[in-house]
Amino acid sequence: MKYSIGLLLAGSLALAACGGGGDDSPMTAETSQDLANDMIESMNDGESMDSGREDNDFTAACLTASNMPEAMCTCMSEKATANLTENGRDFLIATLNEDTDRVIALRGQMSLTEMSQSGMFMVNASTECAAEGHNQ
């Protein structure tokens, strides 16, 4: 079944809100700001969070779960490898594959920052890949 990026993002964010990284403390304005700062730093530091995985699992899951062309899914896979942790990338693959058990297991292992980065990834990466012309 094909889903839109927005639906996938909403599902990822809902799952993130249901448990985060196992931290039971509530989200406060201070922790929210800390998270935002961490995300900005990780995006601006120029360092890749490359997981070292060069497989096509993300591309295959993207093609199965969306109506995006292969060039878009490949571009997004490359960005996921370069910008997400291995758990973050695996979380998105599991979400795209509708593997609820795997999503829940990964959610328990991920930090709040990883969850937020994964949740925003699909929107940001699809926008970047489209701007680069991969949506043709």
pLDDT digits (tens, 9 = 90+) for 83-136: 999 999 999 999 999 999 999 999 999 999 999 999 999 999 999 999 999 988
pLDDT digits (tens, 9 = 90+) for 32-91: 445 444 544 444 343 434 433 445 899 999 999 999 999 999 999 999 999 999 999 999
d(CA 125, CA 105): 24
Q: Are 112 and 23 in contact (CB under 8 A)?
A: yes
**What residue ranges do the domains of the chain occupy?**
1-17+54-131
The candidate with the shortest Cα–Cα distance to 35, out of 114, 92, 121, 128, is: 114
